[in-house]
Amino acid sequence: MNTETSLQEYRVWDRSIRWFHWINVLSVLTLMAIGLVIMNSKALGITDDGKILLKTWHVYVGYVFVLNLLWRIVMGFVGNRYSRWSAILPLGQRYKQQRRAFFERLKQGKELGFMGHNPLARWMVTLLFIMLTTMAVSGLVLGGTDVYKPPFGSYFKSWVAESPETVSQVQPYSDVGVNETAYKEMRDFRSPFKEVHEIGFFVLAALVILHLLGVIITECRERNGLISAMFTGRKVFRDKPVDLQD
Please tell me the predicted confidence (pLDDT) of residue 246.
Answer: 55
In a domain, 75, yes or no: yes
As a whole number of angstroms, the distance between CA 218 and CA 222 comes to 6
In a domain, 219, yes or no: yes
Please tell me the predicted confidence (pLDDT) of residue 81.
Answer: 93
- Alpha carbon 210 to its chain centroid, in Å, reads 14
Please tell me the predicted confidence (pLDDT) of residue 245.
Answer: 61
User: What would you report as the CA-atom Rg of the chain, rounded to the nearest whole angstrom?
Assistant: 23
* pTM of the complete model: 0.93
As a whole number of angstroms, the distance between CA 147 and CA 164 comes to 19
Which residues on adjacent β-strands are paired with residue 11?
Answer: 234
Please tell me the predicted confidence (pLDDT) of residue 3.
Answer: 45
As a whole number of angstroms, the distance between CA 30 and CA 35 comes to 8
Q: Could you give the residue ranges of the DSSP H alpha helices within 90-179?
A: 93-107, 119-146, 153-160
Q: What is the DSSP string of 189-238?
A: HHHHHHHHHHHHHHHHHHHHHHHHHHHHHHHHHH-S-TTTHHHHSEEEES
What's the domain count of the chain? 1
**211 within 8 A of 126, measured Cβ to Cβ:** no
In a domain, 246, yes or no: no
pLDDT along the chain (246 residues), means of 10: 66 96 98 97 96 98 98 96 95 94 88 91 97 98 97 97 96 97 98 98 97 94 92 92 77
Hey, what amino acid is at 227? I
Domain range for 146 is 8-87+117-233
In a domain, 194, yes or no: yes
With a CB cutoff of 8 Å and minimum separation 6, the contacts of 59 are 139, 143, 147, 149
In a domain, 165, yes or no: yes
In a domain, 239, yes or no: no
Please tell me the predicted confidence (pLDDT) of residue 240.
Answer: 87
CATH number at residue 19: 1.20.950.20
Separation in Å, CA 220 to CA 1, 99, 215: 22, 20, 9
In a domain, 111, yes or no: no
In a domain, 164, yes or no: yes
